[in-house]
Structure formats: C-alpha cells, structure tokens
Chain A
Amino acid sequence: MNDTRKVTIKAFRFNAETDYLPYYKSYEMEVGKDELVLDLMNRIKWEHDGSFSYRRSCRHGICGACAIKVNGKATLACKQNAIELLDLFNNEITLEPQSKKRAVKDMIIDKSDFWEKHAAVKPYIVADIEPHPEHETKQSIAEFNNFLDSDLCIQCGACHYSCPALEANEDYFGPAAFVAAYRFTVDTRDTAGLERLEITAEAGQGVWDCVKCFECAEACPKEINPIEKITKLHNLQFEKKVAKSNVATRHAEGFVRSIRKHGFLDEADIVVYSEGYLGMYKHLKTAMDMMKAGKIHWQDGVPFIDNMPKIKNLDEVQKLIEISMTNKL
C-alpha cells in the first residue's frame, strides 16, 4: 500500500514591506497519512522556500498560534490531519492567512483587532481579594462546569476570522470576545458581570449584531460552540435586567407577543413592534413591494384588524407561555 500521496499545495504569499499585491505559489510534495497541515507548512519552509512565514509554537493545539485557513476553512494547522483535508477538497488545497486583508507576511496577520476586542470585555476575574485570605474561594462542580468549556479557548482567532458579521461591521466584537465575556460573567468569583453584560449589549459592537450563521461553532478547534455562549449572553441580559428596550430586544421579546396571540409569528407585527411606528418609514418601500407581489396585505400590522392564521390548540401554547416564561423585557 502506498503510504504517501503526491500533491501540489498552493500557498498565499505576501510581504507587506515589499509587495504591492499578494500572489499564490505552488509546491509539490509527498504527504503521509499522519502528517498535519503544520508539517506541510514546515516542508514549504524547509524544503522549498526559507522565506515562507507563519506562526507556530506549541505543536499540540494549546497556543493557538498556527491558525490559518485552508480553502476558506478555519484550520488549526497543528491539529488538522492533512490527508483528511485533501480528501475533503479533492486534493486541491490552498493555504491562506486567517484574514487576507490583515496579512503582514504570508500566513502571519496583524491580529491587533482580535486582542483589542478581547481586552474590551475584561477577560479576567474582577474581585476584591483579601491580601491574606483565611480560606480558599470555593466553587461547586456545577458552578465550575458553567464556564469550563469556555475556559478552553486558546485565542487562536479561528471563530473571529470566520465571522461574517465582523467582515461587514468592524465595530463588532466577534465570537471569541463574547466567549470570554461569558466565561468571566458566570464565574461566581467575579463581580463585573453586569458591566460585561452592558458592554456586550451595546448595538454595533454587542451580541445583537450576531447574524446567527453558526460559522463560529463550525470553526472552533476546541469545540467551544461560541454562538451557544452568545445566546446565553442574550438570555443573561434579560435575566439580569440589563436589556434596554430597543429594536433588537423588542424583536426577540416580540416573538412571545405574536406566539401568544396566534401561535405563529405575525411577520408584519414583529416589524412594527420592533421598530415602533416612527421607525416604519424605513420599511415602506419593502412593504409596498411585498403588497404588490401578494406577500402581505393592507390589513397586516394594522391594529385591531386580525387576519392572521391561528394554530390549532392555541390555548396549549398560551398556557405553556404562562407557566414556562421566566424572562421579561
């Protein structure tokens, strides 16, 4: 059996000091079944071109330095088997930095945006500690488990640079910062939870700008599931009464209002309720277009006219809302 596979690997090349534009170079090599993407990068550097640059350090998935993208897929190079990726992409793979627009040299990017956003959520325990404590600060296993998986974050940036909301809005904190915000907010030793919830509730930078694409969950090499933590931060904002009434929070809470009345979401009402009547000017053209196509009708969203379909056994849903709902806006 042939244990190696002969392939051509493409790599993004760029030196911000000398190149006007990036370019791609191809490297032929034999890849063995146990080799990692990091081994391929080492081979490019050691056997083909000593100037090929990338970050690497621990080689066992702890330092987060060697995160890159392969065919657009977030990849921690020291953890990812190369043959698996070659199989997935039909033997054609291209190594690229996590963010091409932030490239400094080949795979190395300027990660300052990541660190600034990470720092902005106070990713540490804020507490007044006695200089000479007489006992340990104990936590139950359940309290510890609340943040255990979030604590596994290695700040590699895989989720951050896979997040499309960040691509479109540079103020947005991004999934890694939110994981850190969640991790310290639910730590029983910490006292800055409300402050973190307020920082991450802010429009533009906060959790309400999450587009719900689940790219972060897919990208994370430590299987932290950042969007799950983003949902928990959303819930905590209501639980801890940090949520202020605005278009985003009304949009979330407005679902209960619709479901209670109809079982279904009232598509017109949720827009009117979230935006307020004054905010509806933004949606007039869309509303007219949709009306023309027969998607919505003139009565939709008009108070006191109910032409909504209703689910069967609506009373069950009403009862369940009454006995299960815990949060309020």
Chain B
Amino acid sequence: MSQLKYALFTGCTAKQSTPELLSSTLAVAKKLDIEIIILEEASCCGASHLQDFDEFLAHVLNARNICYAEKLGLTMITICNTCQLNSAMTKHALDKDPELKARVNEKLAEVGLEYKGTSEIKHFLYALIHDFGLDKIKDSVKVPLSQFNIAPFYGCHNIRPSELHEGSNNYENSYVPTSLDELISALEGNPVDYDHKNKCCGFHVELQANHTSEVLAGNAMVDAIDNNADLMVTPCPLCHLKMDTYQDSVGKVIGRDIELPVLHMPQMVALALGCTEAEIGLKFHVQKATQVFTEATS
C-alpha cells in the first residue's frame, strides 16, 4: 500500500487550549508513517455558533478551508468532531445545491479560490480505522493498554446526523457506535459499555445554559465511572474540554465526586504505540492524568 497522505484541518482548540491533541496526532501519524500536511490557511469552522449568526458566511469560510485541501488533491482530515460536522455540512450543502455553490463561489472568486467538491472530509478516527486499518494498528502496539478499562465517548458530531456522516464514518450507527470500542480493543484496552457513550457532553451551551451543560456532562461521566471506567477517551476536543476541565463544577451540580482522566483519541493511540510523554502531553490536562503514562509504561 502506498503511503497515506492527508491535509490536516487542526481546528482552533488544537492550536490553543489542547496542544496535546495536535502533538499526539502528529506523533501517531509519524509512528504509522502517515504523511500529514497542516492546512495553515484554514480558519475556524464556526463551531455551530457562527452558523447560528450567519449561516451563509459560515458556508463561505468552510468552503474556503476545503479549497485548500482540494488544491493539494488530498482528503481533509479533522481532529475535532465539530470541525468535522461543520466542514461536512458545508460540503454536503454545496454539493447538493448548485445555486448555493454558485453563490459561495462568487464570493470565493474575489480571493482567487474556487470550491469544486473534490476532497473528502474525514475524522482522523475513521482515517485510522478504515484507511490505515485496525489490524495494522494492532500490529503496531508497543504498550498494550490491557490494565485500563476505557470508556469510549463518541461525541455527537461524528455520528449525528448519520446521513451526513455515513460516507466518511463508514455507516457507523449513531445508536450503536462501535469504532472507538474497536480501537480500544485493538490497543488491548478493555472498552467499557455504558448507556451514555453516544450522548451529548453539553459543551455547546456551557455559557448560555450552564446547568444543562453540567448535567449532561455529569450524567455521562458518572455512567462511565459506575461501569468501572479508569479512563474516558474521546475523538472530540470540545467534549474533552467539557469533561476534563469542569469535573469539579459538574460534580457539585450532580452531587458526586468525579475524578476521571479523559484522553483524546490520538493520545490513547500514541500511548499504545510507545510515543514519548512529551508527545502525548498528559500534563496539559486539568484532571490529573500524568499517572496514566507512568502506569502504562511501568
């Protein structure tokens, strides 16, 4: 098989509050000999909030991002569920509506760009599983995660709405998602089965409906803990921010002590592939997680 090569849309969080997401993603790609070109021109996807303010502008900006992947002739990979959702929503809208595509291209022409619709958009989770292959990941494991019960937390925007994602996530069923569970198993960890694995973390209403946000995050974390999770893992840095950063306040709202290290999906893979402590970047977590590296490697 020829070497896999992708255009990486980092999103905003990986460049700011979750540097560990970017470093672990690049470390995993290097270990697996996947070539990554970072789309340094790509802007914010709007995170579903710009879309609430001005949906057309959000389409224009997302189409511009995709143009840069098209110029390279590469599939665009994302490392954030919400980046995946919003990029894919723009692609879907433009590909099925020639009139909208023409209106967007009229704007893009002003900066010398044209959206064609030639690049696929795929989350890194699915690129690893479906393009690289679970078996090959399994063969590359240096540090088996067999001592950990790991709760997969899928995050809404990789699995819903399913008809938007079915081409890029290989028809993952939003009610019975399996990809993260299978990835955990491939790394020899023990996937935790719990009801809230495909539910919402509440991140998007953190400011305007804080109580709702805390309750949703709490329900998921407590469910994972009650099913004996040692760790939680998520492919979405926004779920990560909610689950990792707010454990204290979430615990107060729902009346439980919550102490659950939450890993980004690429951090978990990096750990199992034997990447360095600096690359995995567990020190950047609010809920102490550095012990996970020590426990896994000792």
**Do A and B share a complex?**
yes
Q: Report A195 CB to chain B, min CB distance, Å.
A: 20
- A259 lies within 8 A of chain B by Cβ: yes
Given contacts A165-B205, A255-B44, contact A234 B215 (CB under 8 A): no
The yes or no answer to B257 lying at the interface (CB within 8 A) is no
A120 at the interface (CB under 8 A from B): no
Chain B residue nearest in CB terms to A255: B50
- Chain A residues near B213: list those with CB within 8 A: 211
The minimal Cβ–Cβ distance linking B54 to chain A, given in whole angstroms, is 4
A209 CB to closest chain B CB (Å) equals: 4
Contact A325 B54 (CB under 8 A): yes
Q: Which residues of B contact A294 (CB under 8 A)?
A: 19, 283-284
Specify which of B46, B175, B216, B283 is in contact with A71 (CB 8 Å cutoff): B175
Contact across chains for B42 and A316 when beta carbons are under 8 A apart: no
Q: Which residues of the other chain, B, contact A246 by a CB distance below 8 angstroms? A: 208
Evaluate whether A325 and B199 lie within 8 angstroms (CB atoms) in the complex, with A168-B212, A259-B43 already known.
Answer: no
CB pair B286–A295 under 8 Å, yes or no, is yes
Is the Cβ of A255 less than 8 Å from the Cβ of B49?
A: yes
Q: A309-B16, A319-B110 are in contact. Are A271 and B212 (CB under 8 A)?
A: no
Q: Report chain A residues within 8 Å CB of B174.
A: 218
B46: which of A255, A271, A327 is its contact (CB, 8 Å)?
A255
Expressed in whole angstroms, the minimum distance between the Cβ of B197 and any Cβ of chain A is: 11
Stretch at the interface among A19-27, A42-50, A123-131, A285-293: A285-293
Instruction: Let me know if B12 and A264 touch, CB within 8 A.
Output: yes
CB of B8 to closest CB in A, whole Å: 13
> Which of chain A's residues have a CB closer than 8 A to the CB of B161?
214, 217-218, 225, 227
Within B172-229, the residues touching A (CB, 8 Å) are 173-176, 195, 199-200, 202, 204-205, 207-213, 215-216
Chain A positions within 8 Å of B18 at CB level: 295
Complex Cα gap A203–B211 (Å): 13
**Interface pair B195/A321, CB less than 8 Å apart:** no
Identify B61's interface contact among A208, A215, A275, A317, CB under 8 A: A317
Task: State whether the Cβ of B248 lies closer than 8 Å to any Cβ in chain A.
Answer: yes
Supposing A72-B195, A165-B212, A324-B60 touch, asked if A293 and B285 sit within 8 A by C-beta, the answer is yes
The answer, yes or no, to whether B123 is at the interface (CB within 8 Å) is: no
CA distance A255 to B52 in the complex (A): 10
- B35 sits at the interface (CB 8 A): no
Smallest CB gap from A207: residue in B: B52
Complex interface: chain B residues within 8 A of A320 (CB): 57, 60-61, 64, 107-108, 110-111
Expressed in whole angstroms, the minimum distance between the Cβ of B107 and any Cβ of chain A is: 5
A217 to chain B, nearest CB (A): 4
A56 at the B interface (CB under 8 A): no
Alpha-carbon distance A249/B50, docked complex (angstroms) = 10
A311-B17 CB under 8 A given contacts A218-B162, A247-B207, A289-B286: no
Q: Which residues of B contact A72 (CB under 8 A)?
A: 175, 195
Say yes or no: is B13 at the interface (Cβ < 8 Å to chain A): yes
Residues of B with C-beta under 8 A to A325: 54, 57
Proximity string of chain A (310-329) to chain B, C-beta cutoff 8 Å, 1 when within and 0 when not = 01110011011101111101
Cβ of B113: which chain A residues have Cβ within 8 Å of it? 316
Q: Is A152 an interface residue (CB 8 A)?
A: no
Q: Is B293 an interface residue (CB 8 A)?
A: no
B132 at the interface (CB under 8 A from A): no
Closest residue of B by beta carbon distance from A71 = B175
Number of interface residues of A (CB under 8 A): 74
Contact between A275 and B207, CB atoms less than 8 A apart: yes
Query: Are A252 and B50 neighbours in the complex by a CB distance under 8 Å?
Result: yes
> A256-311: which have CB < 8 Å to B?
256, 258-259, 263-265, 267, 271, 274-275, 282, 285-286, 289-290, 292-296, 308-309, 311
Interface centre among B15, B53, B64, B212 (most CB of A within 10 A): B53
**A32 at interface, CB cutoff 8 A:** no
B200 touches A231 (CB 8 A): no
Pick the contact of B207 from A271, A311, A312 — CB < 8 Å?
A: A271
**Contact of B245 with A by CB under 8 A:** yes
A164 within 8 A of B: yes
B60 touches A252 (CB 8 A): no
Q: Is the CB of B245 within 8 A of A286?
A: yes
Residues of B within 8 A of A313 (CB): 41, 111
Report Cα–Cα, A20/B25, bound state, in Å: 52
Point out the residues of chain A lying under 8 angstroms from B173, CB to CB.
88
In contact, A213 and B200 (Cβ under 8 angstroms): yes
Q: Are A209 and B57 in contact (CB under 8 A)?
A: no
A190 → chain B, closest Cβ, in Å?
Answer: 22
CB nearest neighbor in B for A318: B111
Which residues of chain A come closer than 8 Å to B212, judged between CB atoms? 165, 168-169, 172, 209, 211
In the complex, are the beta carbons of A214 and B107 less than 8 A apart? Answer: no
- B54 and A327: CB pair below 8 A? yes
Residues in A whose Cβ lies below 8 Å from that of B162: 218
Given contacts A295-B18, A296-B17, A326-B56, contact A312 B41 (CB under 8 A): yes
A144 within 8 A of B: no
CB within 8 Å of B: which A168-208 residues: 168-169, 172, 203-204, 208
Query: Are B12's CB and A267's CB within 8 A?
Result: yes
Asked if A89 CB lies within 8 Å of chain B CBs, one says yes
Residues of B within 8 A of A256 (CB): 50, 53-54, 57
Contact check, A312 vs B40: say whether CB atoms are below 8 A apart. yes
Q: How far is B40's CA from A263's CA once the two chains are assembled, in angstroms? A: 10
A residues in contact with B210, CB < 8 Å: 282
Which residues of the partner chain B approach A295 to less than 8 Å between Cβ atoms? 16-19, 245, 284, 286
Some 13 contacts from A to B, beta carbons below 8 A apart, are A168-B215, A208-B208, A213-B200, A214-B156, A218-B175, A248-B207, A256-B57, A267-B12, A286-B245, A308-B16, A320-B60, A320-B111, A321-B61
